[in-house]
A and B are shown apart, each in its own frame.
Chain A
Amino acid sequence: MSDMDAPRPAGAPAPWGTAPPDVDLGRVWTGVAAQVWRRRPGPLERAAGRLLRSPGLARALVATPSLLLAWIIATVVVLFAGAAATLATGTPYVALLAPAVAGTGIAYAYGPGIDPAWELSQSMAVSGRMVLLARALAVFALNAALGLAASALSGAAAALTFGWLIPMTAVCALALAVATVTRSAAVGVAAGMAGWVITVLSSAAASGDLTTAVTDPALILPYLAFAACCGAVVLYATRIPRGTS
């Protein structure tokens, strides 16, 4: 790639020509550039900044890949297609899809390996780890809300409407833990999906009912325990940075 540097002598801050000696043109330009180059945060970001009492954390949240509009739209489409399918066939697709969709979003909450500037972000006052956890929570909350809406729309029974929240927590924790440890969002997604599919199919094979994975109360504690372990893995993996030199 050719280096198309601006042709300013010696790479020094631009020499601003002969002006009256007591007028600081560099300072003037900085003032102009500050207004021309500034980014104006949207209302959501400003509200988040006030709520979290950290404009930096709000900015990082808004920049989360899986919270970007395109991603949210994709999530909505999948979940509401599931709702439509449920209305048509009676199989509670939303309950089965929601954990997988959420797990995918969580893996792209951008932690080590996925975040190219991870090392730098670890030296920040608002650390990379704090950002990752905030993002994971935000993605989870958003997916839960969308999932509940889709579930309610599909006319599913109350047990099914809420029943998938706990499995979703477990799947998300698994996806995040694997993504963080392997430093790859794709591997995290694969692990989350695989884990969920295996759980659904094996519980269905055992009981003959496809929805057992989300309705069996005996599974609640195992899900939560598993989620807690994965959470601990994430905390540990983000505490000690890799690298040996």
Chain B
Amino acid sequence: MDDDSLVTRVAGGDDAALRELFSRHAPWLAARLRAVLPAAEVEDVLQETFLAVWRGAGSYRPSGAAGAWLWGIARRQAALLLRRRGPAAAGLPAGVTAAGQAGDPAEVALSRVELAAAVAALGPPGGPEREVWRLLYEEDRPVAEVAALLKVPQGTVKSRAHRARRRLRAALRGGTAAEGGSR
């Protein structure tokens, strides 16, 4: 049975469907949350998430993106918890964000996790798009240097970068399709 049908059944009060959803999605949700929160808090957030699923399954519109919907709920619960407990809970120095702006540490932490998952959607580590992304954007090297390192023409580097950006945008927009890694 697909996820959409499961959520519909949960909305109808089927607790066995909730159990199946849990068994499918709790592991990868736990892994993603664990990057941001300590284990005990991951457990609390997961519990609140699935209780929210139980209560709010009626508001889900079947769209094939149940995973994204679940992550959205988990994200909200995690953000709530992080704001309550302060930035120290996420292991981030207070007020750290891009370009020196004082941002919400909870959002920063969660965005980082989402980005990491989206990057994983680019393919396995060492793959063409992944490598280009890493060298060009994470390590901030010029195109010529990346082309030399990868031993490919600059045009290839540019087209791979373009593909990577497109995939990343799609992944971030859809809340990421790669649940739990390079699938």
B183 to chain A, nearest CB (A): 13
Which of A22, A28, A37 has the most chain B CB atoms inside 10 A of its CB? A28
Contact between B31 and A32 (Cβ–Cβ < 8 Å)? no
Q: Out of B22, B24, B43, B51, which one reaches A35, CB within 8 Å?
A: B51
Q: Which 9 A-B pairs have the closest CB atoms?
A: A17-B27, A22-B39, A19-B30, A19-B27, A20-B34, A31-B47, A32-B50, A23-B30, A28-B46
Q: How far is the CA of A18 from the CA of B27 in the complex (A)?
A: 6
Contact between B26 and A28 (Cβ–Cβ < 8 Å)? yes
Q: How far is the CA of A18 from the CA of B118 in the complex (A)?
A: 20
B positions within 8 Å CB-CB of A: 15, 18-19, 22-24, 26-27, 30-31, 34, 39, 42-43, 46-47, 50-51, 54
* Nearest chain B residue, comparing its CB with the CB of A15: B23
Q: How far is the CA of A23 from the CA of B39 in the complex (A)?
A: 5
Residue A236 at the chain B interface, CB threshold 8 Å: no
Q: Beyond the given A28-B50, A29-B22, could you list 11 further A-B residue pairs with CB under 8 A, ordered by the A residue number?
A: A16-B22, A20-B30, A23-B43, A27-B43, A28-B26, A29-B19, A31-B43, A31-B47, A32-B22, A36-B18, A36-B51
What's the interface size class on A, roughly? 10 to 19
Contacts of A85 in B (CB 8 A): none
Residue A14 at the chain B interface, CB threshold 8 Å: yes
Contact between B43 and A29 (Cβ–Cβ < 8 Å)? no
Contact between B39 and A25 (Cβ–Cβ < 8 Å)? no
A192 to chain B, nearest CB (A): 42
Can you sample 27 A-B contacts with CB below 8 Å? A16-B23, A17-B24, A17-B27, A19-B26, A19-B31, A20-B34, A20-B39, A20-B42, A23-B30, A23-B39, A23-B42, A23-B46, A25-B30, A27-B43, A28-B26, A28-B46, A29-B19, A29-B50, A31-B43, A32-B22, A32-B47, A32-B51, A33-B15, A33-B19, A35-B51, A35-B54, A36-B51
Contacts of A33 in B (CB 8 A): 15, 19
Contacts of B19 in A (CB 8 A): 14, 29, 33
Residue A24 at the chain B interface, CB threshold 8 Å: yes
Contacts of B46 in A (CB 8 A): 23, 25, 28
Contacts of A32 in B (CB 8 A): 18, 22, 47, 50-51, 54
Contacts of A14 in B (CB 8 A): 19, 23
Q: How far is the CA of A16 from the CA of B25 in the complex (A)?
A: 10
Q: How far is the CA of A45 from the CA of B27 in the complex (A)?
A: 39
Q: How far is the CA of A29 from the CA of B19 in the complex (A)?
A: 8
